[in-house]
Amino acid sequence: AGVYLQDNIISLQNKLSSKATVFQLDITNQKDIDAAFELVNEKTKVLHALVNNAGISAGYMIDWTSVDTMRKVMDVNHFGHVAMTKKFLPLLIAKRDSRVVNICSAAGYLAARGMSSYSASKYALESFSDCLRREMFHWDLKVSIIEPGFMRTPIIEGLVKPYPEFLTSLSNDVKERWGEEYLKGWHTKMGQNPLRKIADDPLKVVRALQHAVMNTVPHIRYRPGWQSSL
């Protein structure tokens, strides 16, 4: 299991079997990706399943969000998974019936106001996954997409910053153009988003993931939780 934060590595090691290998992985760093490949290659020479799960959310309305922020989100949520998949393809196609499972989002088919960076990255990962499935059909590589809505995970806690911090992140021309009354109202509505407040159980995603990895006939798409079925 590749993990980005050092604290999470220790936490996961304490929860998993001693047979599990947990290592540091930044999927935007090619050296980390290469090291992960070598680790797996030395152990097994083949890989049954690659699960691409890393993700971040940042930015607001398109006019409020810097291109640098958009690139950062795309680097993690899309290009990082592309790089991981391309690197591990030789191990995946070394056997029949291997799997790539990409954790996408309901935001990958439903574009909402204020989530442009996140939605764009998930739309990109959705189309990449569909292309990969069709291109690797000859190799019997199964590609599944999991599309949850809001889940009770740490990522939703950082969606809405405190108002002073949010305001500081905006340029002066944006604040002048939109006006503080609108900005404050929008910020309040985001904090009261009912979908966020009644986020679903992440174990539903785990069950979908387990099916995609272990079942003899994995689904092309999984939509765990009631929000992704709206």
What are the pLDDT digits (tens) for 79-88? 999 999 999 9
Mean pLDDT of the chain: 93
The total number of structural domains that make up the chain: 2
Question: Which CATH number is 184's domain given?
Answer: 3.40.50.720
Same domain, yes or no: 60 and 133: yes
Least confident of 30-39, 95-104, 150-159: 150-159
Kindly list the catalytic residues.
118
* 3-state secondary structure labels for all residues of the chain: CEECCHHHHHHHHHHCCCCCCCEECCCCCHHHHHHHHHHHHHHCCCCCEEEECCCCCCCCCHHHCCHHHHHHHHHHHHHHHHHHHHHHHHHHCCCCCCEEEEECCHHHCCCCCCCHHHHHHHHHHHHHHHHHHHHCHHHCCEEEEECCCCECCHHHCCCCCCHHHHHHCCCHHHHHHHCHHHHHHHHHHHHCCHHHHCCECCHHHHHHHHHHHHCCCCCCEECCCCHHHC
Its domain, for residue 21, covers 1-43
Say what the pTM is. Answer: 0.91
Answer with the one of 26, 43, 60 that is the final residue of a domain. Answer: 43
